[in-house]
Structure 1
Amino acid sequence: MEKDKRKLLFGMAVLGLALLTSCQVVEPEKRAYPQVIGIDWQEEEENYIVWLHMASLTEDTGQSKQSGETQPGKELYFTGSDAQEIRAAYEATREQYLDIGHVKAVVFGASLQENGETFKKVLNGMEAESSLGNSPCIFTTESLGELAETVEEQELSLGDFLTGLYENRTDVSAQSPVKLADLYRAFHKNMVLPEIPAIEIDKSIVKVSGT
C-alpha cells in the first residue's frame, strides 16, 4: 500500500520535474532546455531515476541570445522516491527555469518497462504534461547510467543523433520513429505496445537497434 502511494504521488518523473515549469514569464537565456529525458525505476530502492541531457540554447532551440550562465553542464542525473524529491534535487543544483518544450527523445530504462504498473503511471503523468507534447521519439536502454556516461564523455548531442537516425534516411529501409503518441494510443486501446528501439553501448559507441 505504501509502495503504491509513493508511485501515485510521483505520478511520473517528468511530471514531477514539470512542477518547476508552472505558468510564468522567464527569459529564454534563463531557461534550461532538456534535449533528452531518461527515466528508470529502481525496484529495491523504490526510487525513480531521471536523467536530463541538456540542449545547446543556440543550436537546439533556435535562440540567438545566450548568457554565460546558461547550460553550465549538459548532463543532469537525479534520483528520488517521489516528485518532491526530484524537484528538490533539481532546485539544489540549477538556477534555471526548466523548459521541457524542446525535448526530442525520451529514453525508458529496462527496469521501468518491466514494472508494468509503474510504467503505466509514468506514461499517464507524461500525457498529462501538455508542454512535453506527443512527438518526442522513444527509446529503451538496459543501462541509463552507462548511456549518460558515454554521452557525456563523447560530448554527443544525443537528441540530434537519435532523431537523425530517422530524418536523415532516404532509402527504402528507412522506418518511422516510435513516438510517445504511439505508446499513449496503445495503452488507451489496450493494444500490444509497439516495439521500442533499443540503445546499446558497444565499446563506447552508442548504437540503436530497431531503426
Structure 2
Amino acid sequence: MKRNRFLILAAVCITCFLLSSCGFKDIDKRIFVQAIGVDYSGNEKKPYKVTLKLAVPSGSLKEAGVKYTYLTKEDSTLAGAIRFLKTQVDKELDFGHTRALIFDKKILEKDFKETLDFFIRRRDIQMISWVAVGEPSAEEVLRVKPESEMAGSTVLTNLFSGNGVESAYITSTFLFDARRKMVENGIEPIIPIIRTNKDHSTLIVNHSYVFSPRHEPVKLNPMQTKFFSLMASRINKLDIEVKKKGENFTMSVDSARVKYKIITAPQKKPVLKMKIVIAGIIEESTFDMNPSELDTYSKMTAKKTKQEVLKVLRFLQKEDLDPLGFGLRYKATRIQNGKRYEEWQGIYPNLTFDVSVDAKIRSTGTVE
C-alpha cells in the first residue's frame, strides 16, 4: 500500500511539471470589443475590411461621456485582420462582451455562409450576438455616437435586445439563428438594417433584408417589416392605422396571436390558412368616436390588417422568399420521403392565402 501511494504521489508531481501556466489575464490587461463591423473593401485580394469598436475603461463610473476607440484593417481573411489589429493595442482583445455584428450588404452577398462561419467557430464570440446590415457601411454605423449612449453600454444592444426600445419595425436576429436559417431548407434569415442620419448622430432601424441562397437579398420597407413581425409573432405591441373618408384612427395593439396551417388536398389548389387575433385600444383619432360603435371600428381594423398582411405574403411569394418558414412547416407536418422540399418548391408559387383577422378594440381611449 505504501509503495502504491508513493507511485501515485510521484505521478502527480511529474504531471504538475508538465502542465502549462494559467492563461488568465487581469482585467486591467484586457480591452473589451463592444461591436464588430465587416465591410467589403473593394479589393479582391483583401476583400474584408474589419472595424472593432473598443470600450475605453475609465477610472470612475461618475465620469460622463462616451469613450470608445476604433481599429480598422483590410485583409484577405477575417482571422488575419483581427490578429493584425491585436498589434495596435497594448491590451488583449476580449470578445466576451461583443453583442453586435454589423455587416456591409456587399460582403454578405459575396458569401453569407463563409462570413458568418468565422464568427460561429470562434469560441470567444457569443452565439447570441445580434446580426445587422449597416448602411451606408458597417464602419460608419459603428462610429455613430448617439447622445443617449453610455460608455461601456453600446446602443446597439438596447436596439435589439428588447430591454430598451420595443418596436415592430426592428427584426432582431441572433448570430446562431441567421446561420441556421441560411443552411436550412424551407426558411430564410431576415436581417435588420441600421442606417444613419445625415450628420451621423442617430441610428435608424426600420427596414430589413431577406437573404436567400437563390438570388440577391430583397429589402422590406417599414410597413412590410412591421406586418412581418406581427405574422412571425416577434412582438405583440404595434399600431394599425385605419383611413376611411377622412375619418382616421390608430389602434394600439396590446396582444396578438397568429396561427396558420398548410392544406394540400388531392386535386385541389394548395391553401395556407392564417388566423390572426389582435386586441387593443384606440390610440389616436381625427374624429369623435362613439364607444357604442366599437364593433364597427374593430371590423374596420380587421379589414385593414388583412389587406396589409396579404400584401406582404404575396410580395414574399412573388420574390420567392420564405422568411416565415412555411416550407419548414410543410416538411415538419408531412411524412418524410426525401423529396418534401422539392415538393414545396413546386407548391409555394401556386399557394393561395386565406387570411382571417379578428380585431377586438376594448376602448376608444377617451374619458367621459
> Would you tell me which structure has more strand in proportion to its own residues?
2
Q: Superposition pairs for residues 128-167 of structure 1, below 5 Å?
A: 128-142=121-135, 143-151=137-145, 156=149, 160-165=154-159, 166-167=162-163
Whole-angstrom CA distance in 1 between matches of 2:107 and 2:153: 21
Q: Tell me how large the CA RMSD over aligned residues is.
A: 3.2
Match of 2:53 in 1: 53
Percent pairwise identity: 23
- CA shift, 1:37, in A, is 0.7
Whole-angstrom CA distance in 1 between matches of 2:118 and 2:83: 19
Which one of 98, 105, 110 corresponds to residue 93 of structure 2?
98
Q: Superposition pairs for residues 61-210 of structure 1, below 5 Å?
A: 74-82=69-77, 85-87=80-82, 89-116=84-111, 119-142=112-135, 143-151=137-145, 156=149, 160-165=154-159, 166-169=162-165, 173=168, 177-203=172-198, 204=200, 205-210=202-207
One-letter amino acid of the counterpart of residue 204, structure 2: K
Q: Describe the shift of the 1:87–1:129 C-alpha distance in structure 2 as closer, same or farther (beyond 3 A).
A: closer
- CA shift, 1:150, in A, is 3.1
Match of 1:35 in 2: 34
Q: Is the 8 A contact 2:113 2:179 kept in 1?
A: no
One-letter amino acid of the counterpart of residue 203, structure 2: V
One-letter amino acid of the counterpart of residue 77, structure 2: D
Deviations 1:52-82 (A, max 9, x none): 1113547xxxxx999xxxxx95211111123
- CA shift, 1:91, in A, is 3.2
* Structure 1, gaps ≥5 residues long: 1-22, 59-63, 67-71
One-letter amino acid of the counterpart of residue 147, structure 1: V
Number of residue pairs the alignment of both structures matches? 175
TM-score, structure 2 normalization: 0.42
Larger radius of gyration: 2
> Would you tell me which structure has more helix in proportion to its own residues?
1
Q: Kindly report structure 1 stretches of 4+ aligned residues shifted beyond 6 Å.
A: none
* Structure 2, gaps ≥5 residues long: 1-21, 62-66, 208-224, 226-368
- CA shift, 1:126, in A, is 1.3
- Report 1 or 2 for greater relative contact order, CA contacts < 8 Å, sequence distance ≥ 6: 1
Q: Is the 8 A contact 2:32 2:94 kept in 1?
A: yes
Deviations 1:165-185 (A, max 9, x none): 2212457x4866211011121
Q: Describe the shift of the 1:184–1:145 C-alpha distance in structure 2 as closer, same or farther (beyond 3 A).
A: closer
One-letter amino acid of the counterpart of residue 43, structure 2: E
Q: Describe the shift of the 1:170–1:201 C-alpha distance in structure 2 as closer, same or farther (beyond 3 A).
A: closer
TM-score, structure 1 normalization: 0.69
Q: Describe the shift of the 1:76–1:182 C-alpha distance in structure 2 as closer, same or farther (beyond 3 A).
A: same
Q: Describe the shift of the 1:112–1:192 C-alpha distance in structure 2 as closer, same or farther (beyond 3 A).
A: farther
Match of 1:26 in 2: 25
